[in-house]
Amino acid sequence: MKSKLTQRIVFGYYKSKIALLSKISAKKAAVIAFELFCTPFSSRQKKIAPEIFKDAEKASVQLDGLTIRGFTWKNSHPNGKKILICHGFDSCSYKFEQYVMDLLDAGFDVAAFDAPAHGISDGKQITALLYYKMILLLENTYGPFYGIISHSFGGLATSLAVEQMNGSAVEKIVLIAPATESTTAINHFNKVMDINEKVRKEINELIYSVNAQPLEWYSITRSIQLTSASVLWIHDDGDRICPYKDTKIIRDMSLPNIRFITTHKLGHNKIYHDRDVQKKVTEFLKEV
């Protein structure tokens, strides 16, 4: 409750600041707005490591001057395949303890790293570009990964990363309530923060300047069509964070390598904690 109140206060402060600054400089207002959009608020809260994480080997990589920290588990009865777990926005690896245990029971080696500005990793902001660069770095350092499990924002980063992996060994991708369209997230943010049209255009220009790609490029609908990997996509029809309606184009395509499962009354976060969903994910990864 305290963190939500703090977040409302922070958003109220920035809402006023952006509105005032936009009258002076739309570009400067856009920089402040985009930084806020990329800032997680609760992932820095002190969390107790689940028991399974105490058995892990601590690992780290350097990315754009940041130390990215995580965990790896080597199986005592290995099946020769490695799985990477990618958490969502404002989350952390600790929340995927059940997946780690299930995967180890199934014979997989496992890796889970906290994205920049999350959990035990360095940083203050996270972008889709930075997240997918992290996944590429982990693939080259701790891979090759046979499969990647992702939730929410981690799903977008995973899809973009796999698109860049020419000849990748990744054969299985799990998308749980993924952030399908970045345009949806930005539009929602702009509406909540009452950001005017001039500042919105500057935010889009800022996003383009980072990677020479427009906002629409950061789309799972676009990028997932470019992979030959088998995909398990699980989404709840009542998801208010990453709307189910954004998945319609992909669902209507009925692509042969994508298996789509629709859940009910699990929302955006309960879905990846659901035991039935967890079992479906493990079974999918075990399939030959």
Task: Kindly calculate the radius of gyration of the chain based on its CA atoms and give it in whole angstroms.
Answer: 19
**pLDDT for res 140:** 95
Q: What is the mean pLDDT of each run of 10 residues along the chain (288 residues)?
A: 64 87 94 95 73 96 97 95 97 97 98 96 96 97 96 98 84 98 97 95 96 97 95 98 98 97 98 98 96
**pLDDT for res 4:** 65
Minimal CA–CA distance to 90: which of 114, 110, 60? 114
Cα dihedral 35→36→37→41 (10° resolution): 120
Contact 5, 181 (CB under 8 A): no
Q: From CA 91, how far away is CA 242, in angstroms rounded?
A: 15
DSSP state string for the chain: -HHHHHHHHHHHHHHHHHHHHHTT-HHHHHHHHHHHHT--SSTTS--PPPHHHHTSEEEEEEETTEEEEEEEE--SS--S-EEEEE--TT--GGGGHHHHHHHHHTT-EEEEEPPTTSTTS--S---HHHHHHHHHHHHHHH---SEEEEETHHHHHHHHHHHH-TT----EEEEES---BHHHHHHHHHHHTT--HHHHHHHHHHHHHHHT--GGGSBHHHHGGG--SEEEEEEETT-TTTTGGGGHHHHHHT-TTEEEEEESS-TTTHHHH-HHHHHHHHHHHH--
Contact 182, 131 (CB under 8 A): no
Minimal CA–CA distance to 134: which of 205, 41, 59? 59
Q: From CA 107, how far away is CA 114, in angstroms rounded?
A: 23
Verdict on whether the full-model pTM lies above 0.85: yes
CB proximity list for 128: less than 8 A, separation 6 or greater? 153, 156, 157, 160, 182, 218
- pLDDT (tens digit, 9 = 90+) per residue, 31-59? 999 999 999 987 555 678 999 999 999 99
Buried b (16+ CB within 10 A) or exposed e, 203-221: bbebbeeeeeeebeebbbb
- pLDDT (tens digit, 9 = 90+) per residue, 13-32? 888 899 999 999 999 999 99
> In the chain, helix, strand, coil percent, each to 5?
50, 15, 35
Structure tokens at 43: 């992932």
The fold adopted by the segment(s) 50-180+219-286 is: Rossmann fold (3.40.50)
Residue 263 phi, psi dihedral angles, 5° rounding:
-105, 170
Classified as helix, coil or strand, 275 is helix
Residue 260 phi, psi dihedral angles, 5° rounding:
-105, 130
**pLDDT for res 1:** 43
